[in-house]
Structure formats: C-alpha cells, structure tokens
Structure 1
Amino acid sequence: METTIAEEAEDLMNQAIQYQEFGSPDVLNVVETETAEPGDGEVRVAVKAAGLNPVDWKIFSGMFGGDTSGLPTGVANDFSGVVQAVGNGVEGLAVGDEVFGSMKSARSHGQNTSALAKEAIVAAKDAEKMPDGLSFVDAASLGIAGLTACGSLRALNLQGSDVIVISAAAGGVGAIAVQLAVYSGATVIGIASESNADYLRSLGAIPVAYGDNLESRVREAAGAPVTKLLDCFGPEYVDLAIALNVGAGSYGTLVGTPEATEKGAIATGQRHAQPGDLERVGKLVANGTVKVSIAHVYPFSTESVRQAYTDLQRGHVRGKLIVEVS
C-alpha cells in the first residue's frame, strides 16, 4: 500500500501544548511542531502520560520572570512513554522500552522538550525504565515529586530511629516523603487538613491538623522528641522546627527563602536527589509499598489542559493531576 504525501507529512508532525506569552492557563494551546530527531545522549519518547506540577503554572504565568526570548515553548516535565528513537552514545535504552522520568537536563530542541506533547526529546539520563506492574499514569506522577522527596530525606540524613514531622503531608511531594520515611522505619507526624487525617493514617503517618496550638499538638502526637522536620509548604514550619528544638542541620524546607536559610533550614529538594532514586520509587510503587494518589486524569486537548492547570492553581488538590496523552 502506497503512502501519500499528506500521510508522510503527517508522520513528520508532532503535537504539543505551548504558550507564546505569559499569563493564565488560557495562554496554553495545542500546536503542531516538526518531529525532532534525538541528539547525542538523547532519546525520542512517544509520550503516554504527563504529570502536572505547580512549578509548571508558575513558569507560564511569568512568576519566575517575563523574558519572552524563549517563547514559544512547551509545558511540563514529568512523563511516561515508549522510546521511539535513540541518539548516539545512549546505553541501556532501546526502541520499544517503556520509560518514565522528569526532564531536567538542558536540551537544544526547544518546543520538542516538554512532557505535554505527543513526542518528546529527553536526555537519556532523565529516563528510567519502567518496572513491571507500574502503569503509565502512575509513572507520570512520580518525576518531580519522587526526586524531591528522595533528595529531601537524604539531605536530612533520615534514620529509622528518627521522629520526623512533614508539613503539607497529603500533597504530591509530602505523601511520597511520608511513605518513604515510614518505609525507612521512622515515626512520621504528618501535618495536613483535618479532612486528610484518614488518608495520612493509611500511609502510615500520625496525622496532626494545622491550626492553633500546633507545637503542643505535635509534641503530644509524637510522644517522643522530634528529631527531624521537612517543610513542604512554607516558612512558618521552619519556626515550628525551632520551637520543637530540632537540631541544626535536621530541618529542611522546599521553600528555600533567605529567611528560612538564615534560621538554619536546609534548602532542599531535587538538588539532593541522586541517580537511581526515581527507579527505586518506581519499584516501590509497582510492588505496592508506596501508594500514589491520582486526583484526576484529563485528555490531551487545549480545553482539558487549561482546565487541569486551573484546577491545580486553585490548590488543595489531594493527589496528582495527569494528562493522558495517548
């Protein structure tokens, strides 16, 4: 059967979510782009699902700066999919491999490097093979959250004998950090809303609702001196660590403001992640040790992606928002 010129042209086109100006989710649109070939150390992935993170909308809103020289550009970093093509110098990955990860390395393909696309160019070192039993949707939820949780607990040198407090414990990062800490043998106090108490118990944490008299309620729940604290929300929890007499170097924050670091908090997150962290988390999810909560799965369209980021901006979403690309 002969292939028409139109069909050949279609095969060379990719679809991606892009924005040409900063603003609300309304700046996001599905556009057609040329299919790119992977460069040295890169692979091209047929994206199955993409995970959304708050940092995505903070970038396209202009919160991190309004330099338009890099526009148009794509959205999202966390992905799962199937390897379509392999560049020179890539070892350990082959066409047909199911992979997941977070695009965090600098690349040269611009609009083809975002996760919200039918096809994406990914640095091979940012792609992990998916373990058996891990779905594409669950895998797409793990990138930034998994790397951040692993890096943060490493920075605090968490031990099985520790009593650790985790704020925003029902959030994307917090829930994984809670479960990794529980898995390590630590006693975990999870701070979240009262409505998330049963959810935190299901993850193995002792829930404490945020609000008045938090210090005394944490002490009562812990039943022993608190030795570590991970803040996944904001600077007030650095003050809580100090009030709880957590030692210097034993409390960290994902919100690394100058004020927080001046108070002795370790500014942590993905910067302290190491190769193999995401593979480890993926295996723990696949075997049921770590549970992921998926709040909603959206189809791949302009309207749906705009709605997904609108929902994410509103906050207080328990679980991850995922776009199923194909």
Structure 2
Amino acid sequence: MRAIEIRSFGSPDGLAVAELPVPEPGAGEVLIAVEAIGVGGVDAVIRRGTLGGYGFREGHVPGSEVAGVVSGVGAGVDESWVGRRVWGFTGTGGGYVEHAVVPVEQVQELPEGLTAQAAVALGGSGVVAHFGLAHARFAAGESVLVRGAAGSIGLLTVQLAARGGASEVAVTTSAPERGDRLRALGATRVLDRAGTGGSGFDVIIDVVAGPDLPVFLDKLAPNGRMVTVGVVAGYPPADFGMTLLGAFQRSLSFATFSSDTVDPAARDAVRSGQFEAAARGELAAVVHEVLPLDAAALAHHRMDAGEVFGRIVLTP
C-alpha cells in the first residue's frame, strides 16, 4: 500500500511516498480501508521536528485520524464490524496510509448522511473544542475569545461557544474574508492575529501558543481562564508565568488541555453526538480542500503558509 513517511524533519518537502505492506489487525484491532485522512496541526508540529523528545524518528508515518470502511478484524473483535463505515483514531501516527490498523476502542461508527471527509474534519477537533471549553469552566453569559479560530479546533470552538450561550464570541484571524466566514459560524467580533483592541474576556481558548501567549493572558478579565489546546506556533516563552504573577490581584488562571485526559466513554459520547449533529446540519465540519494522498507535502506547505480555513483532507 502507499503511505507517507517523514524522510527528514523540517520542511514539508521531507514528506515522501513509500510502499509499505498492508498491515494485519492484531488482537483488539480493526483494519480500515481508508477513504479520508485528516491533516491536523499536530501532524505539522511533529513533521517540523519540534517534538523530537517524544521519540519520533525518520520513517514515521504521520496522521492521527482516518475514516473509511472496516475490512478486517483481529482476534477478540466482533466480526460484525466488517463493512461498517467508521472514524478511527490512530494516535500520534499511522494515518497517512491506504489501510490503517486502529484499536477497536478508538473506532466509532458513522451515522447516515455524514461523509468520511466531514468525519475527519470533526472527529478529533470537536472533542477538543467541547472539553477545552469545559476545562475552562465556560458558562452561558460569559465572553469567549478563540485564538487561532480558522483551524478545525477553532472553528468548532466558535460554534460550540455560540451554541452554549456566550455573551460574545471573539476570534483572531488573518484576513477580513475569514472574519466573514467566522461570523457565519457564530463569531460576533473579529480581531487581527495580535488581538488588537480586545480585552476583558472571561475565557480564552488558545490553539496557537508561541511567543505571543503572554500578550493574550493579559486580555483576560478578572477571574478569567485561558486554556491552551494546541501549540501550532511553538512553545511560549519560558517566563510566561510572570504575566500571571504580575496580575496577581486579578486572579487569572492558565491551563493546558489534552483530550487524552478525558474518560473514554465521555469522549465517545460527545463525538457521537457531534457526528449526529453534523449529519443533521446543526454543526459544520469545515473542509478546506481535498487532496490526493500523494499531495501530503502540498497540504503541509499550505498549513505552514497559513492558507487553511478548516481542515485539509487527503484521500488515497
């Protein structure tokens, strides 16, 4: 089968097509004939080599979520899975392939009316958006700023905050036309990437991190909470906590969030509900572009250039 490997870390040009054997599902696993692959921000972070301490090596196959049809099962897995349309989570790699092996507990059946492309634009990101807001203790009537709103996590956070009764849903983005599209999804205020003119937010959900993170901490209202759910711009300055201490009397809070810490049953229930809502047209799974698997490097170039609104999807 064809797969995409990281031959060298850094530039997207280090991604290359490889021929690998079709894997056999082991005990507790299913084999998925892949129809759609989500290209996520974490894939780009891994490809750049900034997470080298996590053990990634040349030859790593990126990709964390796929959708398709179950074509085989391993020992201990109910044969009735074969033929079902599913979404599957491959973890920190193994998704840029034609056939993916996924633990059955990381697989969810797709409802009628939801495409494989929509599933990989929603499956991982929607859970992060939902529980990221919960981690920030967001409540109806509070103001929310979504930093990095044009990515799949940001877009779903905007929608969920609006549906949850936020008094204001502000967003940061890079272009006026993106602001118009974000307003259509529930944003009420559009700021530039620096958040110029915005302040006094009860909750900030941050997908970006990077060197400007302290600037956004200072945009919190008293008792405000900022939760970072991604690091697409890299790590913040080592002394960013001084911003919190410098605003001691405002009782600000900062936290990180990973969906790895969510109870699996709760995570799956939320994802299932979001899949159903998207199938009914109540939640938008925004696909920026569909590209062939061989164009993975192009997809990463477009992410690095900041051109993507939503999620790029690869198809074998």
TM-score range, shorter chain: 0.7 to 0.9
Which amino acid is the alignment partner of residue 275 of structure 2?
G
Provide the C-alpha distance between the structure 2 equivalents of 1:181 and 1:67, rounded to a whole number of angstroms. Answer: 33
| % identical aligned pairs | 27
Equivalent position SS for 1:204: coil
Match of 2:68 in 1: 81
1:1-326 alignment runs, 5 A limit? 14-65=1-52, 70-90=57-77, 94-104=81-91, 114-187=94-167, 188-193=169-174, 194-210=176-192, 214=196, 217-218=197-198, 226-234=201-209, 236=212, 239-247=215-223, 250-254=225-229, 255=231, 257=236, 259-260=239-240, 263=244, 264-273=253-262, 274-301=267-294, 304-325=295-316
TM-align CA RMSD: 2.7
Q: Distance in 2 between matches of 1:212 and 1:119?
A: 41
Whose radius of gyration is greater, 1 or 2?
A: 1
Which 5+ residue runs of structure 1 have no aligned equivalent? 1-13, 106-112, 220-224
Checking the alignment, whether the CA contact within 8 Å between 2:213 and 2:240 is kept in structure 1 is no
Pair 153,271 (structure 1): closer, same or farther in 2 beyond 3 Å = farther
TM-score, scaled to structure 1: 0.80
CA distance in 2, matches of 1:157, 1:212: 25
Hey, what's the Cα distance between the residues in 2 that align with 1:79 and 1:213? 34
How far apart, CA to CA, are the structure 2 residues paired with 1:307 and 1:209?
A: 28
Q: Check 1:218–1:93 CA distance in 2 against 1; reply closer, same or farther (3 A cut).
A: farther
Q: Secondary structure in 1 aligned to 2:201?
A: coil
Q: Distance in 2 between matches of 1:323 and 1:90?
A: 28
CA distance in 1 between partners of 2:138 and 2:60 (Å): 38
TM-score w.r.t. length of structure 2? 0.83
- How much has 1:69 moved relative to structure 2? 7.9
SS at match of 1:189: strand
Distance 1:269 1:246, change over 3 A: farther
Gap runs ≥5 in structure 2: 245-252
Residue 150 of structure 1, CA deviation: 2.1
